[in-house]
Chains A and B, each alone.
Chain A
């Protein structure tokens, strides 16, 4: 009998909704919630020996969460880890994807499930992801497809698009016979010759993000300042990159009314930073925000600002920063953010 561990979020574990989104990683030696149906579908040859769950904010926002989850999974000595289905839920999908990628890296066989529009999808690679429905009421068919994929993996077979496998296939560099200019002329001639589809690069698919509803009363909420303008303390103590950033940082503005020239600088590599150094508010408008706060137009300013450098950033990293910022700000009960872009 093979041992299967199931990863889910706090909601499907029955712990609670947004109120329980900070639940830390927890393990139970039994199937829970959708895991019971999964166990049934997997049949007698496979046992769901443990369920590991974690709150959405905790999983998406705490840097150590994924490693903790994977170590709980490892304690249950699984032959296979199943994560999700996460449907279109962003933080849950991101957690499933990261747990899958980390488990894969740790040598654990793993499969995750989510909807193709889930923003977490791209982070699972090279771990396989199986398509699920959009919302929880598609749980039944989603689990059936996931269970079938799980059985196939346990039998030592590869998953393909026939199994509902979704997600990015890595694109790797190779040396072509002709240089790119010559290939571009070839492509122009092919197009003029009537081949309307010829291309070397498929059009990428981007998320369409629906904006959050407007705030009824800005004077009653906490508002955060966030920026991709790479404004950091003058010594750049955490070494934010000027281009191709791999991280974001958080700096306190608690109790300060303004940003003094000379104490802050922008390390952004994409524009001339002379004017930012002259007046750091050109990147992070703390002066104006404090004025609005004093006038009572907004409730209060969040005690820290979040920052990265938006210059040559891969879409994958930019998406990750966005999801982590959202989780971090929700966790701090921030209801709106002003994102200054350069």
Chain B
């Protein structure tokens, strides 16, 4: 058998309409899901009951207590999805080559109570809709009741496995459909000798702070690990899966890794004004000594891989700023230009110091908006994920004044959003 070409092909199927129906199928942009089948895929001894329902962009609807979100993708038919989400749905074998079906415009979203999860809100219409990637997708929301004696850790595991399997199952419905777009991404290689284009890579920190604040690589917790080079195609195929439910606006759900915005930006310009040098993932440990070790190691790895510059990203709040800052300084010391993405934590009026732990020697920073700024969400007709907003003890359908911090992925540390901050005296949020 010939070896796989060193590239990944994404077969993209657009989802423009969704429905519940007797069988799961995809036809000309319409995705129909059998509720019964979905519940069978989600079934687990740790879950007493599950419920799935669609919400779509423009609806007067809100999802609260949002946990993970996953874009439907598969690499082949059957329960192992041709190897997609390796370590969860597929076996833990290296992925990132061959072809992958993508249902673009849809997401499977888990919502409900888990310990340590912080209240996270998605609005499907109104001013907050554009601040979250899920405000623009058709979302199959999975709600759940834990089994009576189940440990929360087992509920978390069951949900993760179930949601990933359901995402693979939805994508399987499009396997025989003609794709709307075919995207081919070569695996980043070594430095080419016949170009002077700069080699730029993505250095992506994954939060690793224990159960409910953990990220998985090939099905394993990434805590305790050292930085490693990853083929961006592996991330496309779901090698990185989120189990991190803190800091809603600063969260990188599985959906966001699958659509890694820095990877997308680098791929888009590969061969024109830069060469995409690949992805290095690094854990975000809790102890300072471990943070320093990981940062020094990551910088050496990027330098050894011949990177001229790295875009450094994080997941989480102030603690995670330290991980970006340490890596940026270490990279600059190693001769690699570093750019960091930070959310500002400048207080509600934007007058506080914007970064909690800034770098000392590196100074190139991009702002993804102010965590503390407040916005008013209008009342909505329906809410999924829970009947109350945990922070305010109010009905989830009420008009709510909330800090940006609560809006799911609004300040995406991976760079999905369009927010930035400027000095100015305007009193209104300009979005």
What is A's interface to B at a CB cutoff of 8 Å? Answer: 122, 125-126, 167-185, 187-189, 191-192, 197-206, 242-244, 269-272, 311-317
The smallest beta-carbon distance between B354 and chain A, in angstroms, is: 6
Q: Please tell me if the beta carbons of B265 and A185 are within 8 angstroms of each other in the complex.
A: yes
24 sample A-B contacts, Cβ–Cβ < 8 Å, listed by A number = A122-B352, A169-B423, A170-B350, A171-B351, A172-B426, A173-B369, A173-B420, A175-B419, A180-B416, A180-B418, A182-B268, A187-B366, A188-B309, A189-B198, A189-B273, A192-B337, A197-B363, A199-B363, A200-B366, A200-B367, A242-B118, A311-B317, A315-B353, A316-B352
> Is B68 an interface position by the 8 A CB rule?
no
> Is B318 an interface position by the 8 A CB rule?
yes
- Residue-by-residue, is B357-385 near A (CB-CB < 8 Å gives 1, otherwise 0)? 01000011111111111000000000000
Q: Please tell me if the beta carbons of A191 and B309 are within 8 angstroms of each other in the complex.
A: yes
Distance between Cα atoms of A167 and B412 in the complex (Å): 29
Distance between Cα atoms of A174 and B368 in the complex (Å): 10
User: Given A180-B261, A184-B265, A188-B339, A200 and B351 touching (CB < 8 A)?
Assistant: no
The smallest beta-carbon distance between B406 and chain A, in angstroms, is: 9
> Is B349 an interface position by the 8 A CB rule?
yes
Distance between Cα atoms of A190 and B94 in the complex (Å): 35
Q: Which residue of B lies closest to A310 (CB)?
A: B318
Q: Please tell me if the beta carbons of B352 and A188 are within 8 angstroms of each other in the complex.
A: no
Q: Which residue of B lies closest to A125 (CB)?
A: B351
Distance between Cα atoms of A323 and B200 in the complex (Å): 44
**Sample of 19 further A-B pairs with CB below 8 A, known A181-B311, A315-B356:** A125-B349, A173-B369, A173-B421, A179-B415, A179-B418, A180-B368, A184-B262, A187-B366, A188-B364, A198-B364, A201-B366, A203-B355, A204-B354, A204-B355, A242-B118, A243-B118, A314-B352, A316-B347, A316-B352
Distance between Cα atoms of A270 and B212 in the complex (Å): 11
Q: Please tell me if the beta carbons of B347 and A184 are within 8 angstroms of each other in the complex.
A: no
Q: Please tell me if the beta carbons of A314 and B118 are within 8 angstroms of each other in the complex.
A: no
Distance between Cα atoms of A315 and B269 in the complex (Å): 38
Distance between Cα atoms of A172 and B429 in the complex (Å): 7
The smallest beta-carbon distance between A196 and chain B, in angstroms, is: 8
The smallest beta-carbon distance between B222 and chain A, in angstroms, is: 18
Q: Which residue of A lies closest to B355 (CB)?
A: A204
Distance between Cα atoms of A314 and B370 in the complex (Å): 11
> Is B287 an interface position by the 8 A CB rule?
no
- Residue-by-residue, is B188-219 near A (CB-CB < 8 Å gives 1, otherwise 0)? 00000000001010000000011110000000
The smallest beta-carbon distance between B333 and chain A, in angstroms, is: 15
Q: Please tell me if the beta carbons of A315 and B352 are within 8 angstroms of each other in the complex.
A: yes
The prevalent SS among residues of A at the interface is loop
> Is B274 an interface position by the 8 A CB rule?
yes
Which A residues lie within 8 Å of B418 (CB)?
175-180
> Is B424 an interface position by the 8 A CB rule?
yes
Q: List 5 A-B pairs, minimum CB-CB distance, nearest first.
A: A181-B415, A204-B353, A181-B261, A180-B415, A168-B351
Q: Which residue of A lies closest to B425 (CB)?
A: A170
Which B residues lie within 8 Å of A206 (CB)?
353
Distance between Cα atoms of A187 and B318 in the complex (Å): 23
Which B residues lie within 8 Å of A244 (CB)?
372, 403, 405
> Is B345 an interface position by the 8 A CB rule?
yes
Q: Which residue of A lies closest to B286 (CB)?
A: A271
User: Given A174-B419, A314-B372, A184 and B425 touching (CB < 8 A)?
Assistant: no
Q: Which residue of B lies closest to A193 (CB)?
A: B198
Which A residues lie within 8 Å of B423 (CB)?
169-172
> Is B101 an interface position by the 8 A CB rule?
no
Distance between Cα atoms of A313 and B357 in the complex (Å): 12
Distance between Cα atoms of A272 and B245 in the complex (Å): 12
Distance between Cα atoms of A272 and B114 in the complex (Å): 12
Q: Which residue of A lies closest to B318 (CB)?
A: A312
Q: Please tell me if the beta carbons of B424 and A172 are within 8 angstroms of each other in the complex.
A: yes
User: Given A244-B403, A314-B352, A199 and B365 touching (CB < 8 A)?
Assistant: yes
The smallest beta-carbon distance between A323 and chain B, in angstroms, is: 14
Distance between Cα atoms of A159 and B370 in the complex (Å): 26
Q: Please tell me if the beta carbons of A270 and B311 are within 8 angstroms of each other in the complex.
A: no
Q: Please tell me if the beta carbons of A272 and B211 are within 8 angstroms of each other in the complex.
A: yes
Q: Please tell me if the beta carbons of B365 and A182 are within 8 angstroms of each other in the complex.
A: no
Q: Please tell me if the beta carbons of A201 and B198 are within 8 angstroms of each other in the complex.
A: no
Residue in contact with B347 in the complex, picked from A178, A191, A199, A317, CB distance below 8 Å: A317
- Residue-by-residue, is B248-283 near A (CB-CB < 8 Å gives 1, otherwise 0)? 000000000000011011101100011000000000
Distance between Cα atoms of A199 and B342 in the complex (Å): 11
B:306-341 near A, CB below 8 Å: 308-311, 317-319, 337, 339, 341
User: Given A181-B416, A185-B265, A173 and B373 touching (CB < 8 A)?
Assistant: yes
> Is B431 an interface position by the 8 A CB rule?
yes
Which A residues lie within 8 Å of B269 (CB)?
185
Q: Please tell me if the beta carbons of B345 and A179 are within 8 angstroms of each other in the complex.
A: no
B:119-142 near A, CB below 8 Å: none
Distance between Cα atoms of A122 and B345 in the complex (Å): 14
Q: Which residue of A lies closest to B430 (CB)?
A: A174
Of the candidates A184, A313, A317, the one having the most CB atoms from chain B within 10 angstroms of its own CB is A184
The smallest beta-carbon distance between A278 and chain B, in angstroms, is: 15
Of the candidates B269, B273, B412, B418, the one having the most CB atoms from chain A within 10 angstroms of its own CB is B418
Residue in contact with B337 in the complex, picked from A191, A202, A205, A317, CB distance below 8 Å: A191
> Is B346 an interface position by the 8 A CB rule?
yes
Distance between Cα atoms of A315 and B311 in the complex (Å): 26
Which B residues lie within 8 Å of A269 (CB)?
116, 118, 246
Which A residues lie within 8 Å of B370 (CB)?
171-173
Q: Which residue of A lies closest to B349 (CB)?
A: A170
Distance between Cα atoms of A214 and B21 in the complex (Å): 74
Q: Please tell me if the beta carbons of B345 and A312 are within 8 angstroms of each other in the complex.
A: yes
Q: Please tell me if the beta carbons of A180 and B420 are within 8 angstroms of each other in the complex.
A: yes
The smallest beta-carbon distance between A207 and chain B, in angstroms, is: 10
Which B residues lie within 8 Å of A180 (CB)?
261, 341, 366-368, 412, 415-420
